[in-house]
Every structure is written in structure tokens, then in C-alpha cells.
Amino acid sequence: MDLEEKKISREEIFEGKVLHVVKDTVSLPDGGTATREILLHHGAVCIIPITDDGKVILERQFRYAVGDVLVEIPAGKLEPGEDPLECAKRELQEETGYSADEMIVIGDYYGSPALLREHITMYLARGLHKGKTHYDDDEFMEVFEMPLDDLIDDVMNNKIPDAKTQLCALKAREFLNREKSERR
């Protein structure tokens, strides 16, 4: 079955500083039509930085959209056309102060594929070197660290509401386990 929906027309709804909302009319697989309200987005990166002794560098940050302080790994939006790796290095350095000898892609994801064209590349950062943080003017956060095993426990006990942090913690551990068993 061809599941694809094809764009017939687009109505621009709102283009702000962050959100770009459009309403498209599409043709459906059965020949009918429907409207799709979606958010366009240039993409983003997130980084799980792990120290040589197995601790994850985390941030505590107020997220206005959800009305709460969340524990998250570092992350940031791509500028239009920006290379995800360059963005990941920059966000890691600005938000946590760390630079990394190794930046390993551990996958990518769509966080809300029914609504949002935000495509996020996930990096595992290793070989960390401490430097200075540099926040955006309207960005306030606390940086702290936690052993990866404790973070996994918090993920399983539902103490980490942020999807990328849950996902990268579980993925990073699986990646490290597979790497270890390949070396044997």
C-alpha cells in the first residue's frame, strides 16, 4: 500500500522567532483530502557527555513550555544549514564548559512526528576536557553530574521527564555494552 500523503497547497500561519506553523492541504492514499497543521524546524542536536569515570554531565533548566524545571542532557537548535557536529560541539561547550575528544553519533529521532519536523541527532561525547561555560542571554541553568547507572535508575523510576535524556541514557549504555562485548 502506498501510504504517502502529497501536498496540494500551503497556508502560512505564523513565523515567529522559534516556531514556524503552516497548514497544508494534502491528498490521502484513498484519493480524499485532509488538512495537516505542522511545525517546520531546522533540526537540533543533543549530547550525552560521559566522563572517564562513567558520570553524565546534566543540566537543570526551567522549561517554560512545560512549566517545570527538567533534568536534561545538553542540546540546542541548528542554525539554518549548520553542520550538526559543529552545533553539538558548540552547545556542549557553551552549556557545560566541556570539549570532547570523541563525538560519536548514537542515532537520531523525531520527537513528535505527528506535529513537528524537528529532527534531532544524538551524540555521545567522551574524552572530556573542562573549560568555561557561555550561556545565551535568556538561558539559565545549573550543571551537575551523576553516574550513568544512577541516571538509568532515575529513568526507570520516572524521575526524568525529558524524552531525549531518557533515550540517550538507555542508548548510551546499550552502545557501551555492545562496544565492550565486541572488544572481547
Cβ 80 to its own copies, closest distance in Å? 17
Cβ 107 to its own copies, closest distance in Å? 4
The residue among 141, 151, 132 whose CA lies nearest residue 75 is 141
- Cell numbers placing 47: 549530547
- Within 10 angstroms of residue 106's Cβ, the number of other Cβ atoms is 18
Closest to its own copies by CB, 39 or 146: 39
Cβ 125 to its own copies, closest distance in Å? 18
Cβ 98 to its own copies, closest distance in Å? 20
Closest to its own copies by CB, 68 or 129: 68
Closest to its own copies by CB, 99 or 116: 116
Distances (CA, A) of 182 to 33, 149, 175, 178, 179: 50, 21, 11, 6, 5
Closest to its own copies by CB, 16 or 80: 16
DSSP states of 6-30: EEEEEEEEEE-SS-EEEEEEEE-TT
